[in-house]
Structure 1
Amino acid sequence: MALLRLKLTHSQKSVHVQVQDLRPDTIYARFQEEFPESGAESTLRWNDSDGDWIEIHKSDPDFEAILLAVMQKSGIVHIRSGETNGSYEPTELAQLLQRYEKVMDTFDNLSRNIVKLPPISNILIVTKPDQKLAKLTKELSIWLLETFPGITLFVDKKLQDRASFKYNEIIQHNPSWTDRLQFWTLECHKNASKQIHLALTLGGDGTVLYTTWMFQHRVPPIVAFHLGSLGFLTNFCFDSYKPAMTNILRGEGLNLNIRMRLQCSVYKYREPADQIQRMTSQLAAGDISSTSDDEAAEESRRNIETQRKAEILRKVKEMDSKEGAEVKDLGVCHDNGQTLITRIPKPKLEEFMTPTDSWQVLNEVTVDRGSNAGMLQLELYVDGNPVTTILADGLVIATATGSTAYSLSIGGSLIHPDKNSIILSPIAPHSLTARPMIIPGTKHLRICVPATSRTTAWASFDGRHRQELGRGDSVMITASKYPAATICRRDQSTDWFTGLTQVLNWNSRVQQKPFDSHL
């Protein structure tokens, strides 16, 4: 049997080896043999024809056949360890441009494709908490149960006992609907969210935001009926629910608006164990007195606080460093004119930062000064690089979907929902040049309250889970892998531009008359 050639790469080392088969176990064993320092739990990936690195799963039954086809075409397969963030070898320019063209074609087709939904059996109905809408929810539920016998509905538990919904009357009309008309609560929904195939919303944009927030992972397609006072995300009129739902549930092709969400994680600063121990020792030794009137004790406290602030600033900067360590300038050696530098080892994240909450956000993340009278100071990092210090009443980090909400009201630009971008809009900035900025959605953002800030900050996520951010606390923001898909009434662009003109009255004005109009 002919031997098969592999190129194995670990860290900066590469070797060429030959194996008898391409089973995952064989590749992992040979990689461990060549690079024992990589560890038994190291993740391996192989390089496909497009330059992408694909993880090797030991349980994949088709893996050997796929790699044999690649081997017959190129004669060798490249295997490497590590994460997916780039390869250890430079990428050819032609290959990079080819991948760019492929990505652009994919995004173009993503918004133009006619999509056919999988079979739908479980539908969630989310109704705006308004007493008048219970009657409309009842009307929609009865029509769906009568028209589509294979459908099971999940309605808000609060409607079950409302006189306007008349649940007992519905069951008396058709007792077989007892199992097909279920009621959901937030706790029940968390345990059975994967069973929902389609979500219907009756209300305004807030109802759509609430529905996407309910699904913190995969979001089912959403059909939004507008019943609120201002609906930009709600494309369908409730009066036309029968033809709209008939087209959707019969499996006919339709357009989807895939809206990017933000993955937001809050990190709380925690005093390092060594620093707590040092301060405790100083207290025990009497360096810091408990008497506030003692000037020496007050001076010692100020020194300790200054050291603490410097420690927060240094460690937050190190955590975001791409190189894994901060480069510290030790000055110039006058003998030979060379600058002496040293690298400070990057601290472990869990030693001083504790991840607390994580949310999927459709509209925006808002960091503001809350009830503090003073101006807020925030530090902005992008991909670990310090960008600027913002002095303002706050900062709004919005998606393309959220660009027509809070971000727009403080001067942010309008962004088409097909664009996976993030817009940063300062709230009442202290500098006139602090204008809104649009960056790619793939960037990693960190909004940090520095140790030198005079006030704390308050953060909210789509208007929910409002919480205080102390000095050293931060919010990490990046694109979520769980988008929200809303069903279009016509197509993505038409719905969005129609909303601009009809809902927001964008650029609406009295048209200028011709010169001869007065004649």
Structure 2
Amino acid sequence: MSQNPEDTNVGFPPSWRWPASSSSITTNAEQVKSILIVNKLRTKPVIDTIDSFLVHLRTHYPHVKVFHEDRPDIPQGVEMWRPGQGAQKIHLVITLGGDGTILHASSLFKVGAVPPVLSFSMGTLGFLLPFHVDDFSKALESVFQGKATVLYRMRLSCAFSDKDGNSIGNKGEDWQVMNEVALHRGSSPHLNTIDAFVDGQHLTEAVSDGLIVSTPTGSTAYSLSAGGPIVHPSLSALVLTPICPRSLSFRPLVFPASSSITLRIGERSRAPAGVSMDGQASHILNPGESVTVRSSLHPIPCINRSSISDPAFDAQGEGAGPGKEDDWVRDINNLLQYNATFRSKALLRHSRS
């Protein structure tokens, strides 16, 4: 689907359509008027980094308002921000932490469009966090000069229903999930029995430890550990992965993003199902209750590391120029060690020489 020209500006556009996988952001210093900082627990490295950020922003972008979510450890000199209706509009989100930090940032925007997210790795894995924190001045300059490109990471919209099909939980609003929705047997010693429906058609009765519905982004998280496929995040797809199924023929499936997947706890299930969304427990579903998962209308625009790549590398024939390199390809090799051989690094160095 093509992108609405009105939707390319940073901030909250009037409406979103599913955009192209990578697109230039038409940003400049006048358009970015507010920044929300989302960080992990305030350890000393995080505190020092936030202080450096604030000094840099006040020196180079004094017109920008800086917000922080409502927490007891809010930094000095920033304004408090609370999500929900009537919240101050945010034009750029900066995250400092691990992959869990960007998942938390996603959860702050449950309704409507999500501002572009500039993520800095200060955690363990950092698969979703493209920038090293030492590059923050260069990354900010890229955004304010309109040179940044984004990858629109798909989210899931999740709605819960009781036995009669009536909405339950979350006050009628759909949950927005970036990685996955997982149904699991929790502490029960019994397997779940879950009926899976695709676009209203019964697909299968799954007897297993649970089922996962993930986005392409989430395909490298819990779904991957359960044996699911690795899916490029620019694709629009839903991944259904069983957790320890009783049947040997139950294999993961990939559906188009236009599909609607309903998981209903079977009446014969010997255990209720716990529901976790992006790793956070949310519901307990009893027999007859269900969750319906669809593609959200509001993806997350994540700013690419390749936005600030050095053009000199391209001139030397090494790598790609700014905005062209695929961060994901690099990450599945460097972070996930995709198809890594058993040869030692010493042997590899010897063979190259």
Q: What is the TM-score when the length of structure 2 is the normalising length?
A: 0.82
**1:135 match:** 48
Matched AA of 2:56: W
Q: Output the CA distance in 2 between the equivalents of 1:245 and 1:129.
A: 23
CA contact (8 A) 1:375 1:455 kept: yes
Rg larger in structure? 1
Offset of 1:146 from its aligned partner? 1.4
Superposed structure 1 runs of 4+ greater than 6 Å apart: none
Offset of 1:466 from its aligned partner? 2.3
2:40 paired with 1:146: no
**1:224 match:** 119
**2:334 match:** 502
CA contact (8 A) 2:153 2:234 kept: yes
Secondary structure of 2:139's partner?
helix
**2:7 match:** none
Offset of 1:470 from its aligned partner? 0.7
Matched AA of 2:168: P
**1:114 match:** 24
Offset of 1:511 from its aligned partner? 4.9
Q: Output the CA distance in 1 between the equivalents of 2:134 and 2:64.
A: 21
Higher helix share: 1
Matched AA of 2:154: M
1:194 to 1:421, Cα distance in 2 relative to 1, 3 A: farther
Matched AA of 1:414: I
2:217 paired with 1:398: no
**1:267 match:** 161
Offset of 1:117 from its aligned partner? 3.0
CA contact (8 A) 2:214 2:223 kept: yes
Per-residue CA distance 1:151-186 (angstroms, 9 max, x = gap)? 01012454657xxx5x3xxxxxxxxxx6xx3123xx
**2:252 match:** 436
Matched AA of 2:21: S
**2:11 match:** none
2:100 paired with 1:206: yes
Q: Output the CA distance in 1 between the equivalents of 2:133 and 2:54.
A: 13
- RMSD in angstroms over aligned alpha carbons? 2.3
1:492 to 1:199, Cα distance in 2 relative to 1, 3 A: farther
Secondary structure of 2:24's partner?
coil
Q: What is the TM-score when the length of structure 1 is the normalising length?
A: 0.56
Query: How many residues are matched?
Result: 308
Per-residue CA distance 1:324-371 (angstroms, 9 max, x = gap)? xxxxxxxxxxxxxxxxxxxxxxxxx5xxx3333320010000000111
Q: Output the CA distance in 1 between the equivalents of 2:325 and 2:102.
A: 19
Offset of 1:226 from its aligned partner? 0.3
* Equivalent of 2:129 in 231, 234, 237: 234
**1:460 match:** 276
Offset of 1:191 from its aligned partner? 3.9
Secondary structure of 2:105's partner?
helix
1:361 to 1:493, Cα distance in 2 relative to 1, 3 A: farther
Using the aligned pairs only, state the percent identity: 32
Offset of 1:149 from its aligned partner? 1.4
Q: Output the CA distance in 2 between the equivalents of 1:160 and 1:264.
A: 31
Per-residue CA distance 1:351-403 (angstroms, 9 max, x = gap)? xx333332001000000011110111000000110010001000111000000
**1:243 match:** 138
Offset of 1:467 from its aligned partner? 1.6
Secondary structure of 2:162's partner?
strand
Q: Output the CA distance in 2 between the equivalents of 1:147 and 1:506.
A: 40
Q: Output the CA distance in 2 between the equivalents of 1:267 and 1:237.
A: 42
Report 1:140-179 matches (<5 A). 140-158=53-71, 167=76
1:479 to 1:397, Cα distance in 2 relative to 1, 3 A: same
Q: Output the CA distance in 1 between the equivalents of 2:338 and 2:167.
A: 44
Offset of 1:138 from its aligned partner? 1.3
Q: Output the CA distance in 2 between the equivalents of 1:114 and 1:160.
A: 35
1:154 to 1:380, Cα distance in 2 relative to 1, 3 A: same
Per-residue CA distance 1:79-107 (angstroms, 9 max, x = gap)? xxxxxxxxxxxxxxxxxxxxxxxxxxx99
Compare relative contact order (CA 8 Å, sep 6+) and give the higher one, 1 or 2: 2
Q: Output the CA distance in 2 between the equivalents of 1:156 and 1:354.
A: 29
Offset of 1:220 from its aligned partner? 0.5
Offset of 1:431 from its aligned partner? 0.4
Secondary structure of 1:143's partner?
helix
Give 5+ residue unaligned stretches, structure 2.
1-16, 307-322
Report 1:116-515 matches (<5 A). 116-117=26-27, 119-132=31-44, 133-158=46-71, 167=76, 181-184=78-81, 188-193=82-87, 195-217=89-111, 218-250=113-145, 252-269=146-163, 349=165, 353-357=166-170, 358-490=174-306, 491=323, 494-511=326-343
1:356 to 1:412, Cα distance in 2 relative to 1, 3 A: same
1:375 to 1:160, Cα distance in 2 relative to 1, 3 A: closer
Secondary structure of 1:216's partner?
coil
CA contact (8 A) 2:96 2:122 kept: yes
